[in-house]
Copies of this chain bind each other. A is one copy, B any other.
Amino acid sequence: MVSRTRFDDSDCPVARSVDAIGDWWSLLIVRDAFDGSRRFGEFQRSLGVAKNILTTRLRTLVAGGVLASVPASDGSAYREYVLTPKGEALFPVIVALRQWGEQHFFAPDEPHSELVDRRGGHRLRVLEVRAEDGRRVGPEDTTVQKASEG
């Protein structure tokens, strides 16, 4: 039942992505994973989510190939959850959500957590959607083509 799709327009990559992630908790788990969380307890304390929910979400993410369950790095018998390459590829998604939140839900001087470049410690550039030729494009410059193979 992990893989039962909730969204039937599954030729749309957005719908498949949404279905693969599962729910918002899962996305916040991924965010925490980017932030360095690896252990069950770390995710649980950071998110404040119920443990049974966290259990199922971690399992879903592992089943979906976003996280992998590996032996703990400190040599203990516990396991850790780390991002797979597929999970790391969610980086732009998280960054986009973060930037949207920064721009629309915080007063200019309101403190909030920040994602910064390790080198220099500066904020990141705002994501830009670009056409093949490098032009910046917005929603009105694009259109969706249905199901043609590339």
How would you classify the secondary structure of chain A's contact residues: helix, strand, loop or mixed? mixed
Contact (Cβ within 8 A) A132 B138: no
- Complex Cα distance, B9 from A93, in Å, reads 19
Asked if residues A142 and B130 are in contact (CB atoms below 8 Å), the reply is no
A13 interface residue, CB < 8 Å from B? Answer: yes
Contact: A117 with B104, CB < 8 Å?
no
A97 pairs with B24, CB closer than 8 A = no
A93 close to B91 (CB less than 8 A): no
Q: Is the CB–CB distance between A23 and B24 below 8 Å? A: yes
Q: Are A113 and B146 in contact (CB under 8 A)?
A: yes
Q: Does A114 lie within 8 Å of B35, measured CB to CB?
A: no
Are A101 and B131 in contact, with the CB atoms below 8 A? no
CB of A125 within 8 A of CB of B131, answer: yes
Most chain B C-beta atoms within 10 Å of own C-beta, residue among A8, A35, A96, A141: A96
Q: Are A13 and B86 touching (Cβ within 8 A)? A: no
What residues of chain A have their CB less than 8 Å away from a CB belonging to chain B? 6-9, 11-20, 23-24, 27-28, 31, 34-35, 46-48, 65, 83, 86, 88-106, 109-125, 127-135, 137-139, 141-150
Q: In the assembled complex, which residues on chain B have CB atoms less than 8 Å from the CB atom of A48? A: 8-9
Write the nearest CB–CB distance from A114 to chain B, whole angstroms: 5
Q: How far is the CA of A119 from the CA of B89 in the complex (A)?
A: 28
Q: What are the residues of chain B within 8 A of A15 when measuring CB–CB?
A: 28, 31, 101
